[in-house]
Each structure stands twice: as C-alpha cells, then as structure tokens.
A = this chain, B = another copy of it.
Amino acid sequence: MTMAKDMSRRRFVNSAISSAAISCMPMKGLFAGYAESVRTADPLRQQTGSVLTDSAAWKDQGIENLAKSPYSRLHNVPVRAVTIGSGFWGRRRDTNVTKSIPSMHDLLESNGRMINFRRLADKSKGDQRGPVFSDSDIYKWTEAVGFALQSGDRPEMRSMAEKFIDDVVAVQEPSGYLNTYYVDDRVSQRMLTQTQTTGHELYNIGHMLQGAIAYYRGTGDRKMLDAGIRFVNNFLLPDYGPAPKKPIVSGHPEIEMGLIELYRMTGDKRQLDLAAYILQGDDRLQLPKPRTIYMFSGTPFTSRTKLEGHAVRAMYACCGATDYYMETGDPAYWKTLSTLWNDMTGNKMYVTGGVGSRAAGEAFGDAYELPNYRAYGESCAAIGNMMWNWRMLAATGDAKFTDVIERALYNGINSGMSLDGTLYCYRNPLAFDPSNGDKIRNSWYDTTCCPPNLERTFASLPGYFYSTSGDGIYLHLYDNSELDWRLENGTALKVTQKTNYPWDGSAEIAVVPAQVSHFTFYLRIPGWSERTQVSVNGKAFTGTKPGEYLPIQRRWSPGDVIRLQMEMTPQMIQANPRLVDDTGRVAIQRGPLVYCLEELDQPNGVALTDVAVDLDQKAGAVFHSELRSDLLGGVHVLRHMGAVYDKTSSSDALYFRYKREPVKTRRVPLTFIPYYAWANRQATPMQVWTPVLKSSALNT
C-alpha cells in the first residue's frame, strides 16, 4: 500500500491538535531550567557509578524518575502516591496481585526458569531450559512484584521475590556477567555479534535493570539493582562501546531504557552515553540490512523514517530513544520520534491500540496493512506502544499521546489477560474464528514474554494516573482513586476521583491542597469526547477541546470540586479508505472502550459473518448501553437492532454478478461486548469491524 505522501497532515482519531504541533519540538517548560539547576555534577559519583544519587528518595520515584530530566515537561508521581479504589482498574489490579503474579511465580518455577539459575549455583540440576531470553521472564515478573509492592507491602509476594533475587544474584560471575544460557559449552559464544543479534544478552540485562529498579522503588532493597550496576559498570562499560572498545548491538532493544533509567538514579553519565552509543549503532558490526530492520537497531535511530520490523523491538527502541531525548533534547531524535509516531498512528495501529499486524516476524506491516483475522497485535507490542506514548507525553504534555495510552490500555493490552487473571493472549486479533483450532488464551507460552509484561503493566497502573509539571498537575486517567502527593513547589496535594468510568462519563474530582495555592490543574479531555462539560465548584467551564488538557488555572482551596461529564454516546468508527480490510465496516466505541461481537451473544443460529449494523433506522443507528452485572465480571453491553441475511452467506457463491437490489435481510438484535472481555467464555467467533447495511460514502 502506498506510503503516506503527506504525513505531516495526518491526525489520529478526534485529535484536534494542529498539524504544526506534531512535528515541532516540545516546549521545554518551566521545569527545564529547574532541572538543569538541580542536576549536580559530583565527580566522585561519576567515577564510581554505583552511588545512587537519590538513594534516600526511592519511595518518591515513579515509573520513570524524570525529576532531573531537562527535556521532560511532565514528571511521574510515585506509584504508591495513587491508590486505586474499587472500580474498573481496581478489579484488574486485585486480580493481578492475587491471581496473576502468584500463579506466574509457580509457572516460572515449574517451567524451569529459576532452575536455570540454581543449577549454576549447585552444579547439579540438569540442563538449561527455555529460550535464550528465559532470564527476562524472571526479571519482568520481579518488576511486576516491585510495582505491586509500591502499592503496599505483601510479605508473601515479597518473600517469593527475595528468594528469586537471592538465587539470581548468587550466580553473577565476578566479572559482573550474568546469563543462564551462555554458560557451560556456550561460554565461548558470549558477546559475539551473532549472540548479541539473536541471543538477547543485553535484552535480558535491560529487563534486569527495569525489574531491579522497580523492586528497589517498591522496597528500598537494592540487592538486584547492585547486581545490575555491576553488570553495566564492571562488565559492559570497561570493554564495550565505541572504538577502541569492542562493538555491541541491541539485538532486541530494551537495554537502552534500562541504562537511561539507571543513569537517572546514579547520575553516571557513562550509562547514558552507552545508551546513546547503542541507539546510534556501530558500523564496525556490518550487520545485514534485513537484520537491522528487524531489530530496529544497529543503524542510527535518527536515520529511521518508518516503523518496520519486529514490533516489540521497534516500540522498545522508541521508548529508549524518547528517554534519551528527555535527557539531551537532541532535536534529531525528536524529529525521528515525531515521524515514527505519525507513521504509527496514521498508518499502522489497530483501533484497539495494538501494533505489529504481521505474524511473519511479529512485525509492523506496510502502511494500512491491518488485517483483522490475521492480525498479530502481540500483547507486548501494545504495552510497548503505551510505554512509548507515556514517554512522549512526559516530553510534551500533549494529550494526543494520552489518547493512545488509553486506547491501548483499555483495549489491546487489557484483552491480553483473561478476566480471571490466569490466561494470556499472545496475539490480539480483531476477528476470530475458533473453527480453525486456534486457542487464543493460554496459561503458559514457552516464549512467555507477554504474561509477565501484562502483570508489570497492570501493577504499575497507579503511576499512570497523574503527572506533575512546574506549574501544576496533570490528570491522565479516570477511575476511582486517591492521589496523595505534592506539587513541585512542595505543597502537599490530595486529589480524589469518584466515578464509574469507563461505564459512565461523569467524574467528581476533589482537589485538596494542604493550603490555598495557585496552580494549574490540567484535566484531560479525551479525544473521543466531542462534547465535554466541566465545572469547578458548580461553575461551568467553556472551551473544552477534545484531545487536549484543559488547563484550569486558579487558586485552589480544600473543598474545591471539579465535575466532568464526558460524552459516552456509542460511536461508530470508520477507517481510512486505504485500510482495505475495514472497507464498508464500522467499529463501535463507547468512551475509551472498543466493542466487538461474539457470536454466542447473538440470537441462536445467527452467524457473525451474516450480520450488519443497520444505518437505515429512522432514529439513525442506535446503540443502547445496558449494564449486565452478571456478565463478564460486570460490563455494559451495547444493544443494536441490526440486520442479518435471510439465508446464510455460506450457501452463496464465492463470486457473483453485482446485484443492485439489497440482499434480503431481516432485523436481528445484536449485542456488543467490550473487546477486552472477548474469549472469556466458550470458544465462539468474534469480530470488531462489522459491515454496515446502508452506506452513502465512498469509503463504506
């Protein structure tokens, strides 16, 4: 399909951001100068590298510690600062900590992921098990525990993790090297170009660093973190990097994020520089082009012009590059990041926020290559998408990134874990037919990247609700919750949300500063909410714009209340006509939730392949929302009087002469459920994009 000829004019759903805003540099913001003034250059710390600049402040650090990042406009609040109450994400969070994380612990054990470490300690327990990236499964699980513990101590979970960490650290070699695959006969393969490109050596360590940092921020326990620092400072930094050191390459990007977050804690600029070197690639390796495309690394990040290759690799590379941008403000990075973001949201993202449409190579397809049945849409890629947009949001404060975060989180990520928290999707297709024998949810995959990735994401969720900026606070996500934190000027601030979001569009937000205080409360107006009512203490606000943060700048006093009413009318979404798989079809969305049809919810004998959304009804296509507390853990379904063929299309010819007369149909009540909840009952066909019965537009 044709590449966009005019990308700068592209915009994502409902985004009202002007085109100029997409490609321009983000404002450095008030905080930039502040950050630069705070950043101290301690020569001793720079040399030793293992000193943590903020070791006392581990409790104050969020998903990312951007407090001193000069080109970050927004700054994370600690995960522990937000308590999610009962509601949509509260339930997921509970399931995650009570079911998913503990059951994954047992699966990691039973599938040998920890035996890989222990056998190196006691030299007795059999062979290495699992693929080359098996160590990362442990690290991602540890990260999930680390985030979970940031929301409150869980001694049993903590002791599980401590045992893992002890066993991991016990087998770190004196050099700092740590990997359970490149041992025994494979020692000679360590750090070879071939091993680096396919062996996930640095990928494992990247996850180790992320896991160690999250665990440290959850507990103050720096045992694994120190092991990670030893790998970086003792093993990597002395010998690997630009000439005359030995070249390295990020076979699966991940280490970049790990190194930069480590740098944010240690202040050791060598760690940032190593990430920069990796993002630049090293000509000395002379990697074949198909490999550098697939890896999304090995060539200068700033030479990239489109998203291609392995989707998770590409997303993680973009995360690392955005982290690098926030530390350096390098305009070439921002230009590339903007180009890639426009390419993704304008050409290559599913309406669920999933990315990476091709099963072959788990890769990005060409522009508009977004098949539904054959969609890959790996859970990890949607998570990578969210992580990347979280960083882009931090850099800019632009709500268009939050729209993507929300889209991915509620749909293409949330679909990845079963409602009971024990089964996982690797693929997240937008249409499905179980008759092909495909089992979509499983408790274990030998390449088990997605399950712990989902767990760490859900465990970190409180950290995504708010950010601070030099001039105030940003509210990103709506759900029952309490923020207990402070403004950047030090004023303590509580914010309490009461809402039934995403089922209901109203929210009551109590803003309680410790003392009367002048600051801006940036209230996110979702891009899908075309008409949004906002009031403060009963006084209506005008001029809310979808897809922007509404800056409410005033003197805030305890007792102030923001009331918000978002538009929850179910919407029919159509796709760009170049997206040929969706021609003549609509997706249904209500609030942040994309809906789908499952055949078992439709009247008996009605095949999904024979139904259509009926646009011809006098009142227009109507979708009624209905609470079904008994269904799928409690969801709002959408009811619609659609149409179904009089006789099943399976009896029709494959091709026939075009008929001017409408095919005979009869009315049929259709029931749509939220996409995230699909495949939680018996196997049944599913589809997100449904044909429309009557259309008058070229592209339908």
A→B interface (CB under 8 Å): 1-6, 9-15, 345-347, 349, 351, 359-360, 366, 368-369, 371-374, 431, 433, 435-436, 530, 571-581, 583-587, 607, 609-610, 612, 615, 620, 643, 645, 648-663, 665, 685, 691, 693-700
- Taking a contact as CB atoms under 8 Å apart, the answer to whether A609 and B346 are in contact is no
Chain B neighbourhood of A12, CB < 8 A: 653-655
- Taking a contact as CB atoms under 8 Å apart, the answer to whether A691 and B577 are in contact is yes
Nearest 3 pairs between A and B by C-beta?
Answer: A584-B584, A572-B658, A583-B584
- Give the residue of B573, B585, B654 whose beta carbon is less than 8 angstroms from that of A657: B573
- Measured in the bound complex, the distance between the Cα atoms of B697 and A226 in whole Å is 66
Chain B neighbourhood of A369, CB < 8 A: 373-374
Q: A655-B575, A698-B662 are in contact. Are A691 and B583 (CB under 8 A)?
A: yes
- Taking a contact as CB atoms under 8 Å apart, the answer to whether B695 and A699 are in contact is no
A599 and chain B: residue at smallest CB distance: B2
- Measured in the bound complex, the distance between the Cα atoms of B203 and A55 in whole Å is 70
Q: A14-B657, A584-B584, A654-B346 are in contact. Are A649 and B571 (CB under 8 A)?
A: no
Q: A571-B658, A574-B655 are in contact. Are A435 and B2 (CB under 8 A)?
A: yes
Q: List 19 A-B contacts (CB under 8 A).
A: A1-B373, A10-B654, A15-B653, A346-B654, A359-B360, A360-B360, A574-B658, A576-B653, A576-B655, A577-B645, A577-B663, A578-B650, A583-B691, A584-B585, A584-B691, A660-B696, A662-B696, A663-B699, A694-B695
- Taking a contact as CB atoms under 8 Å apart, the answer to whether A576 and B654 are in contact is yes
Chain B neighbourhood of A575, CB < 8 A: 654-655
A349 and chain B: residue at smallest CB distance: B654
- Measured in the bound complex, the distance between the Cα atoms of B321 and A505 in whole Å is 64
Q: A574-B655, A654-B346, A656-B573 are in contact. Are A366 and B436 (CB under 8 A)?
A: yes
- Taking a contact as CB atoms under 8 Å apart, the answer to whether A6 and B648 are in contact is yes
Chain B neighbourhood of A583, CB < 8 A: 583-585, 691
Chain B neighbourhood of A530, CB < 8 A: 657
Chain B neighbourhood of A655, CB < 8 A: 12-13, 351, 573-576, 587
Chain B nearest Cβ from A294, distance in angstroms:
16
Chain B nearest Cβ from A3, distance in angstroms:
6
7 further A-B pairs in the complex, CB-CB below 8 A; given A3-B435, A574-B656, A694-B695: A2-B609, A5-B648, A6-B651, A10-B650, A13-B654, A346-B654, A693-B698
- Taking a contact as CB atoms under 8 Å apart, the answer to whether B694 and A696 are in contact is yes
Looking at chain A's contact residues, the main secondary structure is: loop
Chain B neighbourhood of A587, CB < 8 A: 655
Total identical chains: 2
- Measured in the bound complex, the distance between the Cα atoms of B607 and A661 in whole Å is 30
Chain B neighbourhood of A615, CB < 8 A: 660
Q: A12-B654, A574-B658 are in contact. Are A580 and B372 (CB under 8 A)?
A: yes
- Taking a contact as CB atoms under 8 Å apart, the answer to whether B695 and A584 are in contact is yes
Q: A10-B653, A653-B13, A691-B583 are in contact. Are A609 and B699 (CB under 8 A)?
A: no
- Taking a contact as CB atoms under 8 Å apart, the answer to whether A662 and B697 are in contact is yes
Q: A654-B579, A691-B583 are in contact. Are A663 and B366 (CB under 8 A)?
A: no
- Taking a contact as CB atoms under 8 Å apart, the answer to whether B665 and A698 are in contact is yes
Chain B nearest Cβ from A694, distance in angstroms:
6
- Taking a contact as CB atoms under 8 Å apart, the answer to whether A643 and B373 are in contact is no
- Taking a contact as CB atoms under 8 Å apart, the answer to whether B2 and A574 are in contact is no
- Measured in the bound complex, the distance between the Cα atoms of B654 and A11 in whole Å is 8
- Taking a contact as CB atoms under 8 Å apart, the answer to whether B612 and A574 are in contact is no
- Give the residue of B359, B585, B607, B665 whose beta carbon is less than 8 angstroms from that of A2: B607
- Taking a contact as CB atoms under 8 Å apart, the answer to whether B658 and A699 are in contact is no
Chain B nearest Cβ from A359, distance in angstroms:
8
Chain B neighbourhood of A645, CB < 8 A: 577, 698
A370 and chain B: residue at smallest CB distance: B654
Chain B nearest Cβ from A642, distance in angstroms:
10
Chain B neighbourhood of A5, CB < 8 A: 648, 650-651
A587 and chain B: residue at smallest CB distance: B655
Chain B nearest Cβ from A75, distance in angstroms:
31
Q: A366-B433, A658-B571, A661-B697 are in contact. Are A649 and B578 (CB under 8 A)?
A: yes
- Taking a contact as CB atoms under 8 Å apart, the answer to whether A643 and B6 are in contact is no
A700 and chain B: residue at smallest CB distance: B584
Chain B neighbourhood of A9, CB < 8 A: 651
Q: A612-B698, A655-B351, A698-B691 are in contact. Are A2 and B685 (CB under 8 A)?
A: yes
Chain B neighbourhood of A620, CB < 8 A: 660
